[in-house]
């Protein structure tokens, strides 16, 4: 990875210490851009060294966010929450997102590249998807130039879902698929998503685009593929969704994590993780799995961190 800072242009990325944000930041650094990291945990290492400066979100102080964004050309926004915990609700995440967008406007940011989700809808029965739709509307109404990318399942070296399916298949005698497992997913490789995000930053055209790979799997097919890849002999069964939630909840207590939620099962069953359009990213999950067969699922990746 190049660490040269040969450009006067500065970009801000939310959550560089996370999964997608880190890959976007790497792409920007490799192209010679200056990068700042907006994060709720400014003391956490980003893994990218001292070339990335970390600044706090400071959602309760809009002026501080504006100051952090002054001189920024493009804001790459990956901020969101997977599930509600304590005071951090989806409504609060929407408020925080509004504060971030308003600060970008006040600071004179040229463009925002926003990572959303496939099939958001203001009418969705799922809070996650309704919230994503609200944030998209906030961005469209902001007056900023924007690109909105909509991925679903993101895979790569720190991708939680694919890795943890492999982890369970390596260690447990039985793997339970909630419901029929006939619902579909369209995974995208994290570096393809990052490359697309960085490419769209240079445009001034407003874009809303599904960010999806070339392969579509049912959950049954995905689990079978991962099972073959890691050489697992685990028995795969189907369980009623409520029973699967109870089982994963008990395991989650041991792992100190939330493995699966009721809404995640329901949104899977509603086929919200597949695009109606053509693929926009080239990497095949099946090829990536074959290249990473020895490492995938060797350790459990906790999605929840303090």
Write down the residue that tokens 């007056």 correspond to: 143
Return the pLDDT at 305. 58
Q: Give the domain-ending residue among 106, 132, 150.
A: 150
- Do 37 and 101 lie in a common domain? yes
Together in a domain, 15 and 145: yes
The DSSP bridge partners found for residue 55 are 38
Domain membership flag for residue 123: yes
Domain assignment present for residue 32? The answer is: yes
- 169 and 53 co-located in one domain: no
Verify that 57 and 133 share a domain, yes or no: yes
Nearby residues of 261 by Cβ (< 8 Å), 6 or more positions away? 83, 245
115 phi and psi angles, rounded to 5 deg: -95, 110
In 3-state terms, what secondary structure has residue 118?
A: coil
Element (H, E) at 238: strand 235-239
Q: Give, for all 306 residues of the chain, the pLDDT tens digit.
A: 333 334 578 999 999 999 999 999 999 999 999 999 999 988 888 888 889 999 999 898 989 999 999 999 999 999 999 999 999 999 999 999 999 999 999 999 999 999 999 999 999 999 999 999 999 999 999 999 999 999 999 999 989 999 999 999 999 999 999 999 999 999 999 999 999 999 999 999 999 999 999 999 999 999 999 999 999 999 999 999 999 999 999 999 999 999 999 999 999 999 999 999 999 999 999 999 999 999 999 999 988 754
Question: If you compute the radius of gyration of the chain from its CA atoms, what whole number of angstroms results?
Answer: 19
Q: Are residues 104 and 40 in the same domain?
A: yes
The DSSP call for residue 49 is G
Q: CATH number, domain at 282?
A: 3.90.25.10
Instruction: Tell me, yes or no, whether 221 and 272 share the same domain.
Output: yes
Domain end residue (candidates: 127, 150, 173): 150
Domains contained in the chain, number = 2
pLDDT recorded at residue 45: 85
Domain that holds residue 159: 155-185+215-291
In this structure, what token pair is assigned to residue 227? Answer: 């099972």
178: β partners: 239
- CATH code: domain of residue 98: 3.40.50.720
User: Same structural domain for residues 168 and 270?
Assistant: yes
Indicate if 62 and 169 belong to the same structural domain.
Answer: no
Residue 1 lies in a domain: no
163 and 135 both lie in a single domain: no
Same-domain check for residues 142 and 160? no
pTM listed for this prediction? 0.94
Q: Which of 150, 166, 197 is the last residue of a domain?
A: 150
Q: Output the CA torsion 16→18→19→20 (10° steps).
A: -40
Same domain for 262 and 166?
yes
Instruction: Mark whether 128 and 31 lie in a shared domain.
Output: yes
């Amino acid at each position: 990875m190049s660490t040269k800072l040969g450009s006067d242009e500065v970009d801000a990325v939310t959550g560089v210490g996370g999964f997608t944000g880190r890959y976007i930041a790497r792409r920007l650094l490799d192209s010679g851009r200056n990068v700042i990291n907006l994060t709720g945990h400014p003391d956490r290492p980003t893994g990218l060294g001292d070339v990335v400066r970390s600044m706090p979100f400071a959602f309760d102080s809009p002026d501080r966010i504006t100051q952090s964004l002054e001189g920024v050309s493009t804001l790459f926004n990956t901020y969101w929450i997977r599930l509600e915990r304590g005071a951090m609700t989806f409504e609060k995440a929407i408020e925080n997102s509004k504060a971030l967008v308003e600060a970008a406007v006040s600071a004179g940011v040229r463009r925002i590249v926003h990572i959303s989700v496939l099939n958001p809808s203001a009418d969705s029965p799922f809070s996650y998807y309704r919230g994503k739709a609200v944030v998209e509307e906030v961005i469209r109404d902001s007056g900023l130039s924007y690109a909105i990318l909509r991925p679903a399942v993101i895979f790569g070296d720190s991708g939680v879902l694919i890795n943890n399916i492999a982890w369970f298949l390596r260690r447990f005698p039985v793997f339970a698929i909630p419901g029929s497992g006939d619902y579909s997913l369209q995974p995208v490789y994290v570096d393809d998503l990052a490359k697309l995000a960085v490419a769209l930053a240079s445009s001034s055209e407003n874009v809303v685009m599904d960010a999806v790979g070339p392969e579509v799997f049912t959950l049954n097919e995905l689990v079978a593929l991962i099972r073959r890849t890691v050489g697992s002999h685990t028995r795969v069964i189907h369980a009623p969704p409520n029973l699967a939630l109870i089982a994963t909840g008990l395991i989650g207590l041991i792992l100190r994590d939330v493995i699966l939620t009721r809404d995640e099962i329901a949104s899977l069953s509603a086929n919200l993780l597949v695009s109606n359009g053509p693929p926009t990213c080239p990497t095949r999950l099946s090829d990536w799995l074959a290249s990473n067969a020895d490492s995938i699922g060797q350790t459990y990746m906790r999605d929840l961190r303090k």
